[in-house]
Structure 1
């Protein structure tokens, strides 16, 4: 493949280019990641499909953290190039559906109230199907992660969700995927916090923060820091909580993570950032 500019034509390994775009996305450089993928010229249809799928995955992250609306067009473009039963395409669609169902009139809402029960049942059937036909341990783990999120945040079935998060954690650790392990620990920590086990919550959230930072996940690491600020407030360290949340808000605003910035700002105004013991950040 080639990456073309007006000045030069340079050969770049496609695997490395897609990996670089994904790392840019983790660093909250979503427009740059998409520009890199879009500027790459390839001749093989399979390579075009890989680029389109990577762009859809970047769009999902941008939509969640920055509040953009890029995913429908990007998933549609990938669908033109991939088989309908492609696992990764199906998972991208599932993530977008999950995010969409989580909001009612622009507000994040947990539990089934106010949501279409048929739509909820359909998304849960789809995530079970993805888990059952996952091509490897890590992708199976991601399906388990979203099965937990759907069970937790759309159906309000916390105990069942925790078992799915545990399966996701095991897959992330055995498959050496720190982002999956981080996501699972984040939500397992939320369950520990909900039951009053602050020590266990702190242990899990610290580890999740470390894993996210090590993988270069900037907005995800900031979101973890906000949960640590919440624990500081819970244990009476209000100055420490405010200092940490102030920096989260500052950083989130600087990188364009508008939703996280709003959450941190609300925390400083005295609002619980969890909104529920099962607050979700995503993925990815």
Structure 2
């Protein structure tokens, strides 16, 4: 009979490693690592439970799975007096859940519960105002922008929040936050016809994502560069890049991203604004 060797590790270093694995799209490895850990201190167990919820949420976003709800509930039980980071995970989960109407992505408020959307925006405001540091305030601003843009279709107000998030990401040296803000600011540039400015922002976002080690995030950003190639008339280049994105995304299990890139190959523009809904 063999026994696994035991080792003692610093919890902070362990959590950094798990975060990097999750950002890189190594969700199974991050989950197995968390499952292998035993923590004696209640505070450490709570942080590990919260980390498991974040890994599941990252997986759900890129892979289209549904694994985070139970883990977020478990994390909330570990923090009965409240915890900003856990509350932010709940906000992210609710934001993503409300994007789907009858299983289909829907931008804007049509077909969604107005009370649920209002509650989501109110919660985002609270988390933004109560954030304990500059970077978290930046993430609060980022999600205020995402909610305002994708659930309320107010792109002008959203741009202000994205700009605040970009400033916080740059000042607080959070490359992932700066990448996310640049991605959405570039999308607005693209939709207004300023493809040069969009390209500048999207290329910078791609570099920031690569530096931070986000494999699925960098692939999703490269899909936007494929959009620019198609806009510029380089269909062969756009198709070649999108085909590689499909191959990479399928390999790492980012099925939702692979589906988006596959749709691009058939002519779908992932940046296109939704058609107006007839409300008569």
Cα deviation for residue 276 of structure 1 reads 2.5
Of residues 112-121 and 34-43 in structure 1, the stretch that sits farther from structure 2 once superposed is 34-43
Deviations along 1:191-217, one digit per CA (max 9) or x if unpaired, are 000100000000000000000000000
TM-score norm. by structure 2 comes to: 0.96
| Residue number among 189, 193, 196 corresponding to 1:192 in the alignment | 189
TM-score norm. by structure 1 comes to: 0.94
Deviations along 1:57-114, one digit per CA (max 9) or x if unpaired, are 1111011111221111111111121134211111000000000000111211100000
CA distance in 2, matches of 1:15, 1:276: 42
Deviations along 1:137-178, one digit per CA (max 9) or x if unpaired, are 000000000000000000000000000000000000000000
**Structure 2 counterpart SS, 1:183:** helix
Cα deviation for residue 125 of structure 1 reads 0.2
| Residue number among 118, 134, 139 corresponding to 2:136 in the alignment | 139
CA RMSD in angstroms, aligned pairs only: 1.1
CA distance in 1, matches of 2:65, 2:156: 33
Kindly tell me the number of residue pairs found equivalent between the two proteins. 273
Q: What's the counterpart of residue 74 of structure 2?
A: 77
Q: Which runs of 5+ in 2 are unaligned?
A: 275-280
Q: What's the counterpart of residue 173 of structure 2?
A: 176
CA distance in 2, matches of 1:208, 1:199: 14
Give 4+ residue runs of structure 1 displaced > 3 Å after superposition: none
Q: What's the counterpart of residue 48 of structure 2?
A: 51
Q: What's the counterpart of residue 10 of structure 2?
A: 13
Question: Is structure 2 residue 217 aligned with structure 1 residue 234?
Answer: no
**Structure 2 counterpart SS, 1:49:** helix
CA distance in 1, matches of 2:114, 2:81: 25
Q: Which runs of 5+ in 1 are unaligned?
A: 278-284
**Structure 2 counterpart SS, 1:9:** coil
**Structure 1 counterpart SS, 2:78:** coil
**Structure 2 counterpart SS, 1:179:** helix
Which residues of 2 match residues 1-284 of structure 1 at below 5 A? Answer: 6-276=3-273
CA distance in 2, matches of 1:128, 1:11: 40
